[in-house]
Amino acid sequence: ELEKLRAEKASSERVTELEQILASVHVVDPPDAPSNSVTFGATVTVKDKKDRTVKFTIVGLDELDLEQDAVSWISPIGKTLLAADKGDWITLEDGRSAKIVKVERK
């Protein structure tokens, strides 16, 4: 019985904590980035030397399951893409070189 009460109290405290976090959230529009820059949320198309294309959408960890071509912004490929612009050559995780040919924002 005591353990049940402790668990209920812990759950209640966690709910209160989450409510406080949500109450403090402010949605902020990102600043306009140059159209050639790769930014968080962008879908990036790269093409290797054999004309094979791959798309990546740069997302947060909680969004990885929401996009088919999602990569985390903290993954190695995510970090590589965020440091690049359209026209830049990058190295993919499999070692291939690829050129960024398109940067799209939703």
Domain over 43-104 is classified CATH 3.10.50.30: yes
- H or E segment to which residue 21 belongs: helix 2-23
What number is the average pLDDT over the span 80-99? 95
Amino acid at 83: A
Of 8-22, 23-37, 73-87, the range with the highest mean pLDDT is 73-87
The edge-to-edge listing of strands for the beta sheet with 70-72 is 70-72, 53-59, 43-48, 97-104, 89-91
Residue ranges covered by each domain of the chain: 43-104
pLDDT at 66: 82
Instruction: Report the distance separating Cα 16 and Cα 14, nearest Å.
Output: 5
pLDDT at 63: 85
Count of helices and strands (H, E) across the chain: 2, 5
pLDDT at 31: 67
| 62, 77 Cβ separation under 8 angstroms | no
List, for residues 45-85, the tens digit of each pLDDT value.
999 999 999 999 999 888 888 888 999 999 999 999 999 99
Determine the 3-state secondary structure of 59 from DSSP.
Answer: strand
